[in-house]
Amino acid sequence: MLTALSIRNVVLIERLELEFAGGLSVLTGETGAGKSILLDALGLALGQRAESGLVGSWANSAIVTAEFNLSAGHAARAFIAEQGLDAEGPIVLRRQLNADGKSRAFVNDQPVGVGLLRQVGARLVEVEGQFEAHGLMDASTHRDLLDEFADLGKANQECALHHRDWREAVRQLKQAREHQELAERDADFLRHALSELERIDPKEGEEETLSRERALLSSRDLPPCPGGPPLPHARRIPGAHEGHPGVLPAGGLARGLAGRHSRLTLQQPRPSRGKGPR
């Protein structure tokens, strides 16, 4: 049941605190006394549509807080718990509406969306009017009405708990399978890397030796003249005669000769264009 209603800066009400005792409470007054303002304020706390006109002209925002005392098995308490919110003790709904039309909603001082606040409010308060019968056309309320008619409140809660546990188990199973697939991919990569290392069969100090050979083979210097001292890491040209032992450093000679030829070509003197002797 509704036990307290706090209103700040709503239309003509600057500050109002209402407390309700058990049983029937009746608000009476002549036309224009402000009864509809109280209902609008309560609707604001229940998540109904808010308009900036509800904010008093002297304030920047309006705040309405409604407190409810519910039984342990109340549908609203179970629904709040299903949303991961605190459902212990009194249920407190609060709505803040700014003058620019923006609003914020809270359930037990925990921020929530206005849509969720509206769903909680629908399970707490039933406002009767001449068009309330149209609510029977809202399909979202049919299951709750059927469960209530069949007195399945406790069974419904137990089923919801089992369903939540099942979904958590499905999530954990999916996560475990993803980890297994990742581990298998890592194992395949490690096996491939190990086979490559075994095929290469690296030796201690081989990296330094290969680095020196690479630097030598990429050298752009020309080889010595025929008959000079042999170059290290050079290979003999097949068919070279004894007096001219042809040796080529692997890889670097062709580039060296090409560079030398280009330099000689560029340095060749041009023919004179002057007049001949007289």
Determine the average pLDDT of the residues in 216-221.
Answer: 70
Determine the average pLDDT of the residues in 131-138.
Answer: 73
Asked if 122 contacts 135 with a C-beta cutoff of 8 angstroms, the reply is no
Cα–Cα distance, 220 to 228 (Å, whole number)? 18
Determine the average pLDDT of the residues in 44-64.
Answer: 90
Determine the average pLDDT of the residues in 253-277.
Answer: 48
Pick the more confident residue, 145 or 166.
166
Task: Tell me which residue of 133, 156, 134 sits closest to 143, measured CA to CA.
Answer: 156
Cα–Cα distance, 31 to 59 (Å, whole number)? 25
Q: Decide if pLDDT at 228 tops 80.
A: no
Pick the more confident residue, 108 or 231.
108
In this predicted structure, what is the pLDDT of residue 268? 46
Q: Decide if pLDDT at 141 tops 60.
A: yes
Determine the average pLDDT of the residues in 3-26.
Answer: 90
Whether pTM > 0.75 for this model: the answer is no
